[in-house]
Amino acid sequence: MAKVLCVLYDDPIDGVPEQYARDEIPRITKYHDGQTAPTPSAIDFKPGELLGSVSGELGLRAFLEAQGHVLVVTSDKDGPDSEFERELIDAEVVISQPFWPAYLTAARIAKAPQLKLALTAGIGSDHVDLQAAIERGITVAEVTFSNSISVAEHVVMMILSLVRNYLPSHEWVLKGGWNIADCAARAYDLEGMHVGTVAAGRIGSGVLRRLKPFEVNLHYTDRHRLPEHVEKELGVTWHPDVESMVKVCDVVTINCPLHPETEHLFDERMIAKMKRGAYIVNTARGKICDRDAIARALESGQLAGYAGDVWFPQPAPRDHPWRTMPHHGMTPHTSGTTLSAQARYAAGAREILECWFSKRPIREEYLIVDGGRLAGAGAHAYSAGNATSGSEETSRLKTS
């Protein structure tokens, strides 16, 4: 019998919907590269329901309890008095979503002698101190591809919203105005612009594929180059490093994981290399950008706009400067947790747990750390080390 500790975001303030906006969601069985969507033996939820908040329990309770395991679900994740820290002491499995990350720092891992599996329901395991997981032999797994396209769609939406000045124009309608000149004074067409992605993995290449029909000039940089025929098909130009790419781009979208190599990649120095009036869309991780450098660049006009859904730490403190900086289109961390995405990563979490408890191998593409080293998708896209430092700041939000 194992204890599974699952940290999920709070239910909606009006309660879990009794009826949803739509009656069904499309059934996705395969992704663009041929990888199959999660294949658990069964699911105990209806796809399209809210699963990522506390009451949804990722649809896991019946399955786990039927096998005699204990499931503890909480949203109380920050600080030493949190339910998460109290329950962690004898947990074998921790499940967390990046939207509401249960930071598994080295100090917390040291307090959890039974911990063997850190499962990310979604993609991006930077909330786990991967170095500490490597050293303790903890397996880290995530549901690769489950919400990559959810994010790619969001990136395209945010690029268009910024360039076309959508949010301020919508505001004028809410205020009862008809201020066309105010709306148009910062509105441009995307057509003909140079758009570059930092990383052309599952999300980055999804963004490139989606932007191709917009008749823009596409660019990318990545540690591994795309096959030549893919570069040709997309008409995309490769750059050997981020600096050489950002110099020529009007819009830069960030789609690499957060790891020691990418932490604060977009600092004052990198932003200064961009064209004046460029836009950044970052749905990867907040900490890839230097928080204050972004706010200053929007104030000075070096950047014309910044949008994304990722912050550091999460939840963002109420006084986080990205809440109030000019020309931003920030949302809470939502792009990868649409109801459509939740159905896939909840099924993926179940698939991983089925493998774990029956001692069958977890799919290679789901692994980030295994057997004391980076493994699977982690060996490809991450570097060893820790990117959780500073996460303690979340406890400040609790009391402010």
Q: Please report how close the Cβ of residue 240 comes to ligand NDP at its closest, in angstroms.
A: 11
**How many CA atoms within 13 Å lie on the side-chain side of 146?**
32
Q: Please report how close the Cβ of residue 9 comes to ligand NDP at its closest, in angstroms.
A: 12
Would you say 348 is a known binding-site residue? no
Would you say 228 is a known binding-site residue? no
**Is residue 367 within the footprint of ligand NDP (CB under 6 A)?**
no
**Is residue 222 within the footprint of ligand NDP (CB under 6 A)?**
yes
Active site annotation includes 19: no
Residues of span 175-204 touching ligand NDP by CB under 6 A: 198-204
Among 285, 320, 327, 344, binds ligand NDP (CB under 6 A): 285
Would you say 259 is a known binding-site residue? yes
Among 4, 123, 249, 293, binds ligand NDP (CB under 6 A): 123
Q: Which is nearer to ligand NDP, 346 or 377 (CB)?
A: 377
Q: Which is nearer to ligand NDP, 335 or 388 (CB)?
A: 335
Q: Determine if the peptide bond prior to 313 is cis (ω within 30°).
A: yes
Q: Which of 333, 344, 350, 363 is catalytic?
A: 333
Q: Which is nearer to ligand NDP, 60 or 284 (CB)?
A: 284
Would you say 313 is a known binding-site residue? no
Which x/- pattern, by CB under 6 A, does the window 235-264 give for ligand NDP? --------------------xxxx--xx--
Residue nearest to ligand NDP (CB): 201
**Is residue 377 within the footprint of ligand NDP (CB under 6 A)?**
yes
Among 7, 138, 151, 155, binds ligand NDP (CB under 6 A): 151
Q: Which of 69, 108, 147, 255 is catalytic?
A: 147
CA-CA distance, 283 to 151, in Å (whole number)?
7
Would you say 147 is a known binding-site residue? yes
Among 32, 46, 111, 223, binds ligand NDP (CB under 6 A): 223
Active site annotation includes 127: no
**Is residue 122 within the footprint of ligand NDP (CB under 6 A)?**
yes
Quick one: tokens of 16? 């879990």
Quick one: tokens of 304? 């014309």
Which residues, other chains included, contact 102 with Cβ-Cβ below 8 Å and sequence gap of 6+?
7, 77, 84, 94, 96, 127
Active site annotation includes 314: yes
Strands 117-120, 93-96: pairing is parallel
Would you say 89 is a known binding-site residue? no
CA-CA distance, 370 to 57, in Å (whole number)?
26
Contact 385, 131 (CB under 8 A): yes
Among 193, 284, 330, 343, binds ligand NDP (CB under 6 A): 284
**Is residue 6 within the footprint of ligand NDP (CB under 6 A)?**
no
Q: Which of 69, 285, 320, 344 is catalytic?
A: 285
Contacts with ligand NDP by CB under 6 A lie at 122-124, 147-148, 151, 198-204, 221-224, 255-258, 261-262, 283-285, 309-310, 333, 335-336, 377, 380-381
Binding site residue list for NAD(+): 148, 202-203, 222, 257-261, 283, 309, 333-336
Q: Which residues does the annotation mark as catalytic?
A: 147, 285, 314, 333
